[in-house]
Amino acid sequence: MSHLTDQHGHSTYLIELSNVNKTYNGSTDQVALSDITLKIPAGQFTAIMGASGSGKSTLLNLIAGLDRPTKGEVWVDGIRVNALGEAALARYRRKRLGFVFQFFNLLNQLSVLDNILLPAQLAGLQSKVAHQRARQLLDQLGITDKARVYPGQLSGGQRQRVAIARALINQPSVLLADEPTGALDSRSGDAVMELLAQINEKGQTIVLVTHDARLAAAYATRIISLRDGRIVDDSILQAPQHQAPSDLLHLHSEEAV
């Protein structure tokens, strides 16, 4: 793969997929992704949409290094992810990625603060620095008063805020969010998306998988639509964030890759 680089030799894109295919071998080959070429610059809030089985979760898993392409290359922050061994993949995920899941994946036996601190401890971050970052995130996400309580005592929206704080504590290059509003009511879901948009405004790159077109149109800056493992639309939203879909000023649909 030939990277587009700037004058200093650095890639101009944070995430690059080149001619990626993913096939699962069973009784018959199942094509999950076909000829995916995709470039995402730093700071973009990208929503990946599609029906069940369209390949959107597979695409997220390839970026996360949780799966490997059958063909093609996956680059994130200058790292060829699909060429890494298991130990290097673990380091890559700890230091460069943050994860937000549909069902939170919090450890119920740990307090809110300890859940947030866990990735920093696994990454070997100095305790003083980790605690400082955790306190800042608790404050930014409006859950300072929940630091010593346990996940079972929180609402769904509060638990997702904890999950977002946990995902951000190692200051990842990319925040990956897999249906983060799927287990929430609409009001809590809107609040979580508003938080993600605010985080993105500060420069955080976000890749979101969602089936909710309303939320994607209101908060993302780019929407990529998948069908049967192929990109069928790639749209840049030329409007201020946090607008209702009916208020979007212009939706420019680029030529599908």
- pLDDT band per the 50, 70, 90 thresholds, residue 3: very low
pLDDT digits (tens, 9 = 90+) for 46-58: 999 999 889 999 9
Confidence label for 17 from pLDDT (cuts 50, 70 and 90):
very high
Statement: residue 243 has pLDDT above 50: no
Domain positions in the chain: 44-53+86-226+235-254
What's the chain look like in SS3? CCCCECCCCCECCCEEEEEEEEEECCCCCEEEEEEEEEEECCCCEEEEECCCCCCHHHHHHHHHCCCCCCEEEEEECCEEHHHCCHHHHHHHHHHHEEEECCCCCCCCCCCHHHHHHHHHHHCCCCHHHHHHHHHHHHHHCCCHHHCCCCHHHCCHHHHHHHHHHHHHCCCCCEEEEECCCCCCCHHHHHHHHHHHHHHHHCCCEEEEECCCHHHHHHHCCEEEEEECCEEEEEEEECCCCCCCHHHCCCEEEECCC
Say yes or no to pLDDT of 247 above 80.
Answer: no
pLDDT confidence band for 238 (50 / 70 / 90): low
Average pLDDT over residues 49-76: 94
Q: By mean pLDDT, which of 84-88, 121-125, 183-187, 246-250 is the weakest?
A: 246-250
Kindly tell me if the per-residue pLDDT of 256 is higher than 50. Answer: no
Rounded average pLDDT over 232-253: 55
Single pTM value for the model: 0.86
Check whether 244 has a pLDDT greater than 50.
Answer: no
Class of domain 44-53+86-226+235-254: alpha beta
